[in-house]
Amino acid sequence: MRTGSETLIALDHVSKTYSGITVLRDASIEIRAGEVLALVGENGAGKSTLIKILSGAEHPDPGAQLTYFGQTHDAVDPVRTLHWGVSVIYQDLSLFPNLTVAENLGFTRAREGHGVYRPSAWRSAAVEVLERLGLDFDVDAPVETLSFGQQQMLAIARAVATEARVIVMDEPTSALSAVETEILYRIVDELRAAQVGIVFISHKLDEVFRICDRVMVLRDGQVVTTGGIPDFTQDDLIAAMVGRRTEYAASRVEGEAGEEILGVDDLLVGGTTQGVSFSVRRNEIVAITGLVGSGRTELAHTIFGMTPARSGRLRVDGKEVVIGSPADALAHGIGYLPEDRRLQGIFAGHSIRTNATVAALDRLVDRFRRIVPRKEDALVARYTRDLDIRPALPSADASTLSGGNQQKVLLARWMAAEPRLLIVDEPTSGVDIGAKREIHRLLQGLAASGTGVLVISSELSEVLALANRILVMRGGRIVGETTPGESTQESILTLELQGDHQ
Amino acid sequence: MKRLFSRYPTEWVLVGLFALLFIVVSALSPSFLTAGNLFQLARQMVELAIITCGMSVVIITGGIDLSIGAQVGLVAVTMAVLVAHGWPLPAAMLAGLLVAVAAGLINGALVGVLGVPSLVATLGTSLAYGGAATVMSDGRAVSSFPTSYFVFGQSFVGPVPAQVFLMIAIVIITAYLLTSTRWGRHVYLIGANPVAARFAGIRTARTLMATYVFAALLAYVVAVVLSSRTATARVDLGDAYVLSAISAVVFGGISIAGGRGNVVGAILGVAVFTVIQNGLGLANVSVFIQTVVIGSILIIVLTGREIAKRVRTSRRKTAPVFGAITTSKERQA
Amino acid sequence: MNATLAAIVRRREIVIAASIVVISCVVAVISPQFMTVSNIRNVLTSNAVMAVLALGMTIVLVPAHIDVSVGAQLAVTAVVVGDIVTAAQTQSAIVNTGTMLLLGVVIGCVLGALNGLFVALIRLPAIIVTLGTSSILRGVLYSTTNGAWTSGVPAWLTSSQVDGPVGIPGVLIVVAVATVLLAVYMHRTTSGRDVVALGGNREAALRFGVNVSRVDFLVFVIMGAFSGLAGVLYLVQMGSAQPGAGVGFEMTAIAAAILGGASVFGGRIHIGGTLLGVLLLGVIQNGLVLSGVPVYWQDLVSGLIVVAAVTAAVIQDRALLMARLNSSATTKEER
Amino acid sequence: VTGCTTGTPGGTGASAGSSDDSTYDVAFIPMVVGAPYFETANTAMQEAAEEIGGINWIYQGPDTADAAKQSEIVQNMITRGVDAIVISAVDGTSVVPVLQQAMDAGIHVYTWDVDTDPDGRENYIGIGSMEDFGAHMVDSLVSQMGESGQYAVITGSLSANLLNERIDAIKAYSAETYPGLDLVSVEGADVDPAKAYTIAQNLLTAYPDLKGIISNSSEAAVGAARAVQQAGKQGQVYVTGISTPNVMKPYIADDSAQIINFWDLEKYAKLAVYVTKDLLDGKTYSEGTVSGYDGYDQLTYSGDVLLFNEFLDFTADNIDEYDY
Ligand SMILES: Nc1ncnc2c1ncn2[C@@H]1O[C@H](COP(=O)(O)OP(=O)(O)OP(=O)(O)O)[C@@H](O)[C@H]1O
Ligand SMILES: Nc1ncnc2c1ncn2[C@@H]1O[C@H](COP(=O)(O)OP(=O)(O)OP(=O)(O)O)[C@@H](O)[C@H]1O
Ligand SMILES: [Mg+2]
Ligand SMILES: [Mg+2]
């Protein structure tokens, strides 16, 4: 703890019940000026819910005590908290896809104006903000054309641009690569120096230890412990989060990779002129890493048939194939876990069951093409158990799950499809540390059982822990290949940045 | 029981409303609650109910098919004109079937393959199909059908009009397809999130084609029943059903944004409309008052349901998931 | 420089404008009367009512709503204003025309507010609410008038269609003013931005301080105002009004807006596109008569043209997306 | 021509299920309700029913001119067990099956104004032959524009049989009688006067030498007259044809339209009630007694068809005498 600084916001006795299910129980949170408070907990522990209550986007059950900047309130709403200087980076980013970067950045500040919208003013303000933060986006681009990582940076920029007194970041780094993460750390440091109160939610504990001052652990909607960072070790936190101590042994699948499953030849991705070539073999986990916007996702989309390839060839099991749509890819045994789970993954309003089995329905129908409920239930039950999806209620609306649990449902979808090659794009984004280990273990299990796995990840520790081979992308090309044995986080980062060819 | 209720709230509201209406209307008109009239009522539902099945499926995918009415006219006129040209009835009916399939395929291709917004696409094809029928018939009613044809719309099984059984079968088949088959599942998921549907390996284009063809096949059935019942084929034979079907669909709890609802609710909606029209008609209430009643019931019932829901969950001020759905649709490339 | 040109070429409006040009050329070859001042003027004035309705519809579509009651709203306004103006039988033209327009707007706002209440407060889907109010309005209108027409509208009102400052038809001035007001509202006020933002991400709009209910309410009131305006223009144009006025106009208005680039899923605003969409439909109708296409063929031909035009627009949208994807990656590599 | 009888012999009050046996329940089913034509007719009919007594005149019709909807209303009337149905059919064949059902149920079926196939009804009360009226419409136009020149027809819905038959009559008569007339175009405007207006404008543009427009529906006349008025082409382009008086008064007054071909609707409507009552009472007609009603002196009767035969043209001279 640095200073016994002033308390900006204090919420006490906060409970929240969604149609009978209590997700927060008598929780409290205190935010102090010039201090970074880490909020950690397993998926579904209630972190995002607490934040939504803090911003007024959700209302707590009666009995809560809400104090903002010295004033106690009965109820708050987003407009007022925003006005008081509470700025939130929501887990779902809450950007306006149809507006430009400049319009998104200016959106909140404009509310204080006189109702007149001057595009040029917004535009120059946006340019200035982005420059200050060291980001370079086209301010006139509609946000829907940005990659997911870029959108995350934009959401951060928007929160910072409002000159807020309290900034809440709900998993801001889930899709950021090392370089962007550094930018964020720098921003956090500057904000702390400016006496802003910060809440930082993350599943990446090294990050928590690096930039936070205090930590609060939520478990099953209750605050289990809170205290200064120096008083904890990573293992303490994990124990507090899951209620017991766990062991983590990253066991990379070692040994000989089998024959080639996927071969990529000179595939042109995006506007580049140089093709991408690589292959993935049985029993092998290949990782692709790179900076935000380096084209990894686009490469995956091209392989998966989502975006047409401009040129190049694909081989599956040594045979050349044409993949014109994801359905073709699926028919060839290729699965893809997308990075944007809200837009590309989850079917809102539909059950966990429906969400999990959609890619495996072929195996669940009888002779009359009727979906056999018994088979479907069995499949869902199996993956709910294996992935520890909570709530373990197959009929629950998937969009009401916490971010991490949604991710697990999507993973279940693709594991249930039993692909021969599974491409996973930021597979552990938003997933808690326990589940992350579980996912790593499952991916390794897949590889061990003969599936080829292509992991796209911005998290270098994940890449190093999982992969047998690592490809580094930049500007739509592969600029380097290495193995975990012969590289470190630093050496990979250098490749990402400079992209020298071997 | 309680579970059944909470799972199908809209349907139960409609059942209740239906019962209530039944009582009110019986009180208003003595001839309402007679066996003859009840069969009549069932018969009056048939065409709208069948069209509504097709419309439901299309709307669940997040689309709409404004051309169903024109398809009915086109199919009927095609058959009648061919019969008038001396074709044997079975051949003419087969040709009508092919025309229906072609019309469905064209809609499906426009919406599913090319990605044209269904509303404009089917508005355009509606003009074109109706126009084609007008060209074939010079806009005239064609009554060339042989009497053997009238079995489809004028025959009875005991006291029950035969087409009522057809309607029941079609409703059951539609409900079955939607709830229990892979195709039905895909229909819902495309409606819920078309982008995610593609990412999940669903052949969205093919599924949408099948959807519009399904709607067209039901239009074909209606064309046969209706032209047989009235012994005539006309361009505008099905026009009146389009808007009514859409009303019934939304009334029955199917989201116009797609992805939610079920066909049984929509058919209950049809039943409610038919009872109002039949009952108030018998009670000699003017059509325009009937219109007002239907419009009011539409709003009042759903308002009541919405308020009840809000009281139950007592959730304040949030706009749940709607935004998410909206944005996902946007990125449909 | 090249980039701006490219940006212009990629606008949705271009495809529709191009369709209009192509059709115009074909018709002009067939009929020398097509490219005359008076015909162009006719095409513009006779589509003024639809233009106003479609403009309103554009706004309703932005937050992913829809209004199918605009035809009924138009009829109510036209009949009520028509009755008032025939009963009053006043003489002085210019002031009174303005008053009537205002009256129409007020009536329309009230009707729109009715829709808005149910959508914004009760949160019923707009399609249900407006289907309902449409039935109610028509039913009430028919029951009270018994289908009788309002005729005998004084000439000072109806003549403003042709006359107007500097020889421009009055109705066109009204359309122009409505367009400008709307464009300013949508593109130059934060409130207008709110509407667009709401269409992009409703949840986010709520979180960033947009009063979502107010916006929902507002768009229906604006729509109502435009329907009311259209109702008066209808009266001006026809010199009579009947309870069946504007039947089916709602679909044409929606189609025109979507042709112009609006989306039923919200978030898209193309005011110019909407006007071009109306014009395209108008030119098709005009062209069919002028080029002597037999009446039985007209629906078929216009249906095919509509399908072709919207397909072209969609294909262009997709090409635009691809181009944007490619160009963004390229610039990154160049850096 | 012998006098003809009602459908059922001895048909006094075969009142199937009517509550009060002394009055007949008669359902009048127009093509569409809410149209001024049928509303006016119904008002007159109600008056007549009042005058005569013993008739309960029920008015119920579809809200759009839709054949299937009209059939359903007929069905409802069968259920109600009315004594008679008087119908103006949307089209002549599609209601026939259900009308036959009605007759099977002992309900008398008469058509008024728009007939069905003869096997769908017992008697038809009509305005006169289609050929005569078509000829009359053409003659009216010729009386204004002369025997040569271009003219166009604007009709209502393209699928309205009645209108189509009238167009056929117009075409046939003008081709035969006036070779100088040139029918340049037939256009359809549905029931939308705004569309009719636009189409008329387009016609004026497309055919600068156009001399006449025949309206084949009330809405068409309004649109056409309005277009002529706006273009300031009074005296160059003549508008004649079908419409109703009130809506056309301003246009007749400023010469934007000249002649409305019509009939005395109120009188014609009342005829339906008189005849229905007589038929239900089992009265038999003979040539002599057909025109037994006061003021109906041009009735003709052949087989089961009774014709009114009084065409009435509204012009600047008489239009102000009528209010509907
Ligand atoms: N609208 C809702 N209806 C029902 N349950 C909900 C709703 N929103 C959230 N929940 C439930 O509340 C619990 C807490 O969710 P929350 O999003 O706060 O978790 P979290 O701690 O942020 O998890 P993560 O790390 O996965 O993001 C979850 O079990 C979730 O299913
Ligand atoms: N849907 C899209 N529309 C337009 N442009 C896009 C879209 N998706 C990606 N791009 C562009 O393509 C480029 C490559 O993005 P991609 O998502 O492949 O990068 P990435 O390496 O996966 O980065 P991230 O970590 O940000 O996801 C980005 O610069 C982005 O602007
Ligand atoms: Mg969360
Ligand atoms: Mg990515």
Give the pLDDT confidence score for residue A79 in this predicted structure.
81
Show residues of chain B in contact with A326, CB under 8 Å: 198-202
Query: Confidence band (pLDDT; 50, 70, 90) for B223?
Result: very high
Average pLDDT score over residue span A155-180: 87
Give the pLDDT confidence score for residue B48 in this predicted structure.
95
In chain C the first and final C-alpha atoms are separated, in Å, by 20
Query: Confidence band (pLDDT; 50, 70, 90) for C126?
Result: very high
Give the percent of chain A with pLDDT over 70: 94
Give the pLDDT confidence score for residue B30 in this predicted structure.
82
Residue D298, pLDDT > 50, answer yes
Question: What is the CATH code of the structural domain delimited by B31-285?
Answer: 1.10.3470
Ligand 2 geometric centre to CA of A148 (Å): 7
Ligand 1 geometric centre to CA of B164 (Å): 48
Establish if C259 touches chain B: CB-CB under 8 angstroms.
Answer: yes
* Residue C39, φ and ψ in degrees, nearest 5: -70, -45
Find out whether D83 and D18 touch, Cβ atoms under 8 Å: yes
On whether residue A206 sits in a domain, the answer given is: yes
Give the pLDDT confidence score for residue A496 in this predicted structure.
79
Find out whether D217 and D191 touch, Cβ atoms under 8 Å: yes
Q: Whose CA is nearest to atom 4 of ligand 2?
A: A145
Q: Which two tokens stand for residue A421?
A: 């090659």
Do A428 and A397 belong together in one domain? no
Write out the H or E segment, with its range, that includes residue D301: strand D300-302
To the nearest whole number, what is the mean pLDDT of chain C?
A: 87
Tell me which residue has tokens 């971010």: A403
Task: Tell me which chain B residue has its CA closest to the CA of residue A333.
Answer: B201
Testing ligand 1's pocket by substitution, the residue of A216, A401, A433 carrying the most ligand atoms inside 8 A of its CB is A401
Task: Say whether B286 and D60 touch across the interface (CB within 8 A).
Answer: yes
Size of interface A-C (CB pairs under 8 A): 104
CA gap D204, D198 in Å, rounded: 10
Range of lowest pLDDT (A254-258, A404-408, B57-61, B231-235):
A254-258
Residue D87, pLDDT > 70, answer yes
On whether residue A23 sits in a domain, the answer given is: yes
Exposure string for B36-75, b = 16+ CB within 10 A, e = fewer: ebbbbbbbbbbbbbbbbbbbbbbbbbbbbbbbbbbbbbbb
Q: Is residue C335 lining ligand 2, measured as CB closer than 6 Å?
A: no
Ligand 1 geometric centre to CA of A147 (Å): 25
How far, rounded to the nearest angstrom, does the alpha carbon of residue A286 sit from its chain's CA centroid? 20
Do A189 and A225 belong together in one domain? yes
Find out whether C242 and C77 touch, Cβ atoms under 8 Å: no
CA gap D54, A464 in Å, rounded: 99
Q: Helix, strand or coil for residue A408?
A: helix
Do A258 and A318 belong together in one domain? yes
* C191 CB-contact burial (10 Å; exposed 0-12 / middle 13-18 / buried 19+): middle
To the nearest whole number, what is the mean pLDDT of chain B?
A: 87
Do A223 and A256 belong together in one domain? no
Which residues does residue A223 pair with via DSSP β-bridges, in sequence order?
A218
Atom of ligand 2 nearest to the CA of A149: 26
Query: Confidence band (pLDDT; 50, 70, 90) for D291?
Result: low
To the nearest whole number, what is the mean pLDDT of chain A?
A: 87
For chain C positions 114-133, those within 8 Å of chain A (CB to CB) are none
Do A227 and A261 belong together in one domain? no
Number of the ligand closest to the Cα of A288: 2
Number of the ligand closest to the Cα of A148: 2
Do A22 and A128 belong together in one domain? yes
Size of interface C-D (CB pairs under 8 A): 98
CA gap A470, A454 in Å, rounded: 10
On whether residue A1 sits in a domain, the answer given is: no
Give the pLDDT confidence score for residue C5 in this predicted structure.
47
On whether residue A348 sits in a domain, the answer given is: yes
Q: Report DSSP letters for C274-297, one per residue.
A: HHHHHHHHHHHHHHHHHTT--HHH
Instruction: Quote the minimal CA–CA distance from C287 to chain B in Å.
Output: 16
Query: Confidence band (pLDDT; 50, 70, 90) for D292?
Result: low
CA gap A219, B50 in Å, rounded: 53
The beta-carbon neighbor of C204 closest among A95, A118, A119 is A95
Q: Is residue A221 lining ligand 1, measured as CB closer than 6 Å?
A: no
Q: Helix, strand or coil for residue A141?
A: coil
Task: For residue range B246-279, list pLDDT tens digits in order.
Answer: 999 988 888 888 888 889 999 999 999 999 888 8
Give the pLDDT confidence score for residue B54 in this predicted structure.
97
Do A67 and A49 belong together in one domain? yes
Residue A20, pLDDT > 50, answer yes
Q: Which residue, of A212, A242, A272, is where some domain finishes?
A: A242
The distance between the two most distant Cα atoms of chain B, rounded to a whole number of Å, is 67
Do A210 and A112 belong together in one domain? yes
Give the pLDDT confidence score for residue D3 in this predicted structure.
34
Q: Which two tokens stand for residue D97?
A: 């099956």
Q: Which two tokens stand for residue A420?
A: 């021969």
Residue B316, pLDDT > 70, answer no
Residue partners of C177: CB distance under 8 A and separation at least 6? none
Do A175 and A230 belong together in one domain? yes
Between C190-200 and A101-110, two packed helices, what is the crossing angle to 10 degrees? 120
Percentages of chain D per state (helix, strand, coil), in multiples of 5:
40, 20, 40
Identity at C115, one-letter amino acid code: N
Give the pLDDT confidence score for residue A244 in this predicted structure.
58
C115 closest CA partner among D266, A432, B295, A111: B295
Q: For residue A60, give the DSSP letter.
A: P
Q: Which two tokens stand for residue C189?
A: 């006020």
CA gap A455, A288 in Å, rounded: 6
Task: For residue range B273-298, list pLDDT tens digits in order.
Answer: 999 888 888 888 888 999 999 999 98
Q: Is residue A338 lining ligand 2, measured as CB closer than 6 Å?
A: no
Q: Which two tokens stand for residue A359?
A: 């890619």
Q: Is the torsion defined by CA of C23, C28, C30, C36 positive or negative? A: positive
Task: For residue range B54-67, list pLDDT tens digits in order.
Answer: 999 999 999 999 99
Q: Which two tokens stand for residue B1?
A: 């029981």
Give the pLDDT confidence score for residue B152 in this predicted structure.
87
To the nearest whole number, what is the mean pLDDT of chain D?
A: 87
Show residues of chain A in contact with B189, CB under 8 Å: 347, 350, 354, 358
Give the pLDDT confidence score for residue D177 in this predicted structure.
94
Q: Helix, strand or coil for residue A9?
A: strand
Establish if C144 touches chain D: CB-CB under 8 angstroms.
Answer: no
Task: Tell me which chain C residue has its CA closest to the CA of residue D34.
Answer: C147
CA gap C187, A460 in Å, rounded: 44
On whether residue A438 sits in a domain, the answer given is: no
Q: Whose CA is nearest to atom 1 of ligand 1?
A: A400
Query: Confidence band (pLDDT; 50, 70, 90) for C175?
Result: very high
Task: Say whether C200 and A98 touch across the interface (CB within 8 A).
Answer: yes
Touching partners of C (3+ C-beta pairs < 8 Å): A, B, D
Q: Is the torsion defined by CA of C193, C197, C203, C208 positive or negative? A: negative
Range of lowest pLDDT (C218-222, D61-65, D267-271):
D61-65
* D43 CB-contact burial (10 Å; exposed 0-12 / middle 13-18 / buried 19+): middle
Q: Whose CA is nearest to atom 22 of ligand 2?
A: A297
In this prediction the ipTM stands at 0.88
Do A412 and A470 belong together in one domain? no
Give the pLDDT confidence score for residue B327 in this predicted structure.
33
Find out whether D93 and D115 touch, Cβ atoms under 8 Å: no
Strand-strand pairing, A276-281 and A319-321? unpaired
Q: What are the Cα distances from residue C142, in Å, to B160, C136, D43?
A: 36, 10, 15
Task: For residue range A397-415, list pLDDT tens digits in order.
Answer: 999 898 889 999 999 999 9
Establish if C168 touches chain B: CB-CB under 8 angstroms.
Answer: no
CA gap A27, A14 in Å, rounded: 5
* Residue C10, φ and ψ in degrees, nearest 5: -80, -5
Show residues of chain B in contact with A92, CB under 8 Å: 324
Residue D16, pLDDT > 50, answer no
The beta-carbon neighbor of B287 closest among D33, D159, D188 is D33
Find out whether C295 and D158 touch, Cβ atoms under 8 Å: yes
Q: Is residue A49 lining ligand 1, measured as CB closer than 6 Å?
A: yes
Give the percent of chain B with pLDDT over 90: 55
Length of chain B: 333
Do A92 and A212 belong together in one domain? yes
Q: Which residue, of A194, A213, A242, is where some domain finishes?
A: A242
CA gap C237, C4 in Å, rounded: 40
The residue segments making up the domain with residue A209 are 7-242
* B5 CB-contact burial (10 Å; exposed 0-12 / middle 13-18 / buried 19+): exposed
Residue ranges covered by each domain of chain B:
31-285, 286-333
Task: For residue range A22-48, list pLDDT tens digits in order.
Answer: 899 999 999 999 999 999 988 888 999
Average pLDDT score over residue span D138-165: 92
On whether residue A202 sits in a domain, the answer given is: yes
The beta-carbon neighbor of D79 closest among B36, B231, B237 is B36
Give the pLDDT confidence score for residue C10 in this predicted structure.
57
Find out whether B253 and B11 touch, Cβ atoms under 8 Å: yes
Residue partners of C233: CB distance under 8 A and separation at least 6? C48, C49, C52, C171, C174
On whether residue A502 sits in a domain, the answer given is: yes
Q: Is residue A145 lining ligand 2, measured as CB closer than 6 Å?
A: yes
Highest mean pLDDT among A97-106, B75-84, D58-67: B75-84
Average pLDDT score over residue span B327-333: 34
Q: How many domains does chain A have?
A: 3
* Bigger pLDDT: B68 vs B324: B68
On whether residue A359 sits in a domain, the answer given is: yes
Residue C9, pLDDT > 60, answer no
Q: Which two tokens stand for residue D251?
A: 């246009």
Give the pLDDT confidence score for residue A439 in this predicted structure.
86
Number of the ligand closest to the Cα of A150: 2
Do A358 and A323 belong together in one domain? no
* A445 CB-contact burial (10 Å; exposed 0-12 / middle 13-18 / buried 19+): middle
User: What CATH number does residue A141 fall under?
Assistant: 3.40.50.300
Chains D and A touch (3+ CB pairs under 8 A): no
Give the pLDDT confidence score for residue A255 in this predicted structure.
65
Tell me which residue has tokens 């039950």: A381
Q: Helix, strand or coil for residue A200?
A: strand
The answer, yes or no, to whether the previous bond of D193 is cis (omega within 30 of 0) is no
